[in-house]
Structure 1
Amino acid sequence: MQQKPFHMMAKPVSHLCNLKCDYCFYLEKEAYYPAQDKMSMDALENYVKNYIQGSKQAHVDFAWQGGEPTLAGLDFYKAAVKFQQQYASGKTITNSFQTNGIAINKQWASFFAEHNFLIGISVDGDATIHDKYRISTNGKPTFERVRHVIGLLKDHGVQFNTLTVVNDANWNKGKQVYQTLKELGSMHMQFIPVVEQDHVHDERFEPQATEKVTPFSVPKAGYGVFIADVFDEWVRHDLGRIYVQSFEMLLAQKLGYPSGLCIFSKTCGDNLIIEANEDVYSCDHFVYPENKIGNIQDTPLDVLATSDKQVAFGNHKYETLTEKCKQCPYLERCYGGCLNSAL
């Protein structure tokens, strides 16, 4: 049987970050990794080797996230590139890097340009929106720094896209947010809703009967309002010019192509997480003890990715859908979306 493709996201500094965003779901991981250091050189080499050799695909993409991945230091990624070249074995290797941008300077930008890194910049709208939640550890606003960094990336010819969290501060400002992203030069946009339930961590994987969410969560139907407003602007002015991930993926599905996003797929579990100590988890949104599937010091990555526990995790999405969802005429477009946002 042919191996189902899987994709890895690495957390080389775990939960460590130079911002303190109110809605961040990863800062709480300090409870599991209280004295976490960045990924060691030995662990980095083992991960790079494991991922390339374990993937049966001709193209292997290394996604670096956090916390804030720049905190690993530039030398860490220089070493990562060398290891990738060492173990490539004829495969095409690429790198994507999700960052708040705060620490990026000319040296980082030059490195990204030289090695063709794709940079994802987190930005939630203009300063009045972005700075409500995306603040520094000492409470300072960050929008102007992000604007500067985007200019730096453009000056160095670095390809970048934007990731926007839809929350209680911007859900009714879709047009305004979209225009801000255009002004910043974003040609590839991703919008994700924050729906954070007020409950303890060990209940998160199970279907929830409560609809109680945190104050910063997007309100009920708010994400739909936001996306509809963005769509109206996009389809009138930028169709075929600006790439909005959710629109493009849904259109591809409508044309008969398989979903390119786990949130729109019938099953999930193809996007795994590796922590700084080489622990592997089922999903970025489920880094909890019950969702740890192993450690690559003990078990090869491809074995973990195709394990019974990981397959069961992926099937759990459809198996726990409510009858209301299953009867929806648009079921095949999203299959209920991300399990983490299900109420």
Structure 2
Amino acid sequence: MIAYTKPENQRRKDTASFALEYERAQVQRPFTCMIKLPGPVCNLDCDYCYYLEKDALYADKKYGLASFRMREDVLERLIRDYIRSQPQERVEFIWHGGEPTLVGLDYFRKILALQQQYGEGKVIANVLQTNGTLIDDRWAEFLAEHHFLCGLSVDGPAKFHDRHRRFPDGRGSLQRVLECARLFRKHGVEFNTMSVVNASNCKEPVAVYEFLRDVVGSRYMQFTPIVERVALDEEEPLSLVAPAYAKQAALMEENVGAEEWGNFLCRVFDRWVKTDVAYCYVNWFDNTLAAYVGEQPSLCSMASYCACALAIEHNGDAYCCDHFVFPDYRLGNVLEVNIAEMAKSDKQLLFEQEKKDALSALCLSCPYLRICGGDCPKNRIDRTPAGEPVSCLCKGFRMFFEHTQRYFEFMAEELRQQRPPANVMKAKL
């Protein structure tokens, strides 16, 4: 179980893997940052959002966007130090929130100016995750001109999307999202879709997939299962709690169940594998195939170790991970500690290592561990018969891996023979 108090009180992992990672961290190593420009402030009020309530961590929350917008001194220090910390020639910035477009176009022009000022000849790439509701022609032109890759949040047809992703006055947001997708296509903005799989849309997997493909025009789809726990103690500052939370907590009613998640993946795969293997890319399918050919997954939840992917709050506070923005996981502040030092700190390295060290005996004996990596530690809220933590989605992942094994084995062999994996669409398996 992951639990941090103070770094000096942490139990050191005396393992060869930790020692190797620690040694590597003493030199420059690449890491990523998810930068929360407006903190948790958003113009939508999605009922399953894990981040909206993070304003409770900051005393000045009553001032809204004015107090949460990242100050320019924080922004400049972050951009300068992040570029300097990266050993590779390509440096990627991920702009997130809340809703990052709330800070305005002029703010993003300032970002580009600072990136140019401190770029040191490196290739700078920008990724923007947006709900799409504020995108107009000016925004789309800007994003296309400067080659932003955009993630667009959309959960499927209106009966699913508008049930959860609403404006504060109760209006659904889908029509604005579809207009954003139209503008992205019109101006040539490269985008993918991010869809939260929840207790509602998990019931119609194919309808969701075909809507994203045919109506939104998505060619790269990311599906994220929602797993959150709600504290029963009303005095807790945050209602959603970390896996290490020892008091009583209940599952959020919007959560997707393990079998529902497995069924969702299987049904989407069955539709995809018939006609769309060379046409659409689905994050779970790409990463599963990568595991079959011995490549490292890009999905951190499927990796052996947690990625070094820091979450940077509006005030410069850095946390171990976007899903662990809790006081125990705070690494420091970019105005006080160089971001590279936080990325290779004992606390961060232990956080990354814990994903593997905390695997249950059930996971260690599972034939699919090499594919799933034990899932994200955030989801390890169930217990094995021996009382060890295990992902609450484990049964669903097993369903998916068992259902698709023969297809991925075929595609992996095609790749080894330097043939296109899309040949699976013609194979009789």
Q: TM-score range by the shorter chain?
A: over 0.9
SS at match of 2:254: coil
Do 1:196 and 1:213's aligned partners in 2 also have CA atoms closer than 8 Å? yes
> Would you say 1:327 and 2:352 are equivalent positions?
no
Q: 1:207 to 1:233 in 2, by over 3 A?
A: farther
Do 1:208 and 1:342's aligned partners in 2 also have CA atoms closer than 8 Å? no
The match for 2:89 is 58
Do 1:52 and 1:87's aligned partners in 2 also have CA atoms closer than 8 Å? yes
The match for 1:194 is 226
User: Could you say what the CA RMSD is over the residues aligned between the two structures, in angstroms?
Assistant: 1.7
Q: How much has 1:326 moved relative to structure 2?
A: 1.7
The match for 2:47 is 22
The match for 1:280 is 318
The match for 2:38 is 13
Tell me how far apart the structure 2 counterparts of residues 329 and 37 of structure 1 sit (CA, whole Å): 46
Do 1:12 and 1:65's aligned partners in 2 also have CA atoms closer than 8 Å? yes
Q: 1:203 to 1:19 in 2, by over 3 A?
A: closer
The match for 1:170 is 201
List runs of 5+ in structure 2 lacking aligned partners. Answer: 1-23, 61-66, 382-429
Do 1:11 and 1:69's aligned partners in 2 also have CA atoms closer than 8 Å? yes
Query: Which amino acid in the other structure matches residue 71 of structure 1?
Result: L
Do 1:39 and 1:277's aligned partners in 2 also have CA atoms closer than 8 Å? yes
Do 2:28 and 2:85's aligned partners in 1 also have CA atoms closer than 8 Å? no
Do 2:140 and 2:183's aligned partners in 1 also have CA atoms closer than 8 Å? yes
Query: Which amino acid in the other structure matches residue 294 of structure 1?
Result: G
Tell me how far apart the structure 2 counterparts of residues 215 and 138 of structure 1 sit (CA, whole Å): 22
- What per-residue deviation string (whole Å, max 9, x for no partner) do you get for residues 24-61 of structure 1? 00011011124232011221111110110011121111
Tell me how far apart the structure 2 counterparts of residues 264 and 95 of structure 1 sit (CA, whole Å): 24
Give TM-score, length-normalised by structure 1.
0.96
Tell me how far apart the structure 2 counterparts of residues 211 and 273 of structure 1 sit (CA, whole Å): 25
SS at match of 1:280: strand
Query: Which amino acid in the other structure matches residue 103 of structure 1?
Result: L
Q: How much has 1:212 moved relative to structure 2?
A: 4.1
> Would you say 1:213 and 2:251 are equivalent positions?
yes
Q: How does 1:102-181 map to 2 (within 5 A)?
A: 102-181=133-212
Give TM-score, length-normalised by structure 2.
0.77
Q: How much has 1:3 moved relative to structure 2?
A: 3.3
Query: Which amino acid in the other structure matches residue 168 of structure 1?
Result: A
The match for 2:396 is none
> Would you say 1:84 and 2:115 are equivalent positions?
yes
Identity between Structure 1 and Structure 2 (%): 41
Q: How much has 1:211 moved relative to structure 2?
A: 8.8
Q: How much has 1:209 moved relative to structure 2?
A: 10
- What per-residue deviation string (whole Å, max 9, x for no partner) do you get for residues 146-180 of structure 1? 11111011111111110000000011211000000
Q: How does 1:219-238 map to 2 (within 5 A)?
A: 219-238=257-276
Count of paired positions? 343
Tell me how far apart the structure 2 counterparts of residues 29 and 214 of structure 1 sit (CA, whole Å): 17
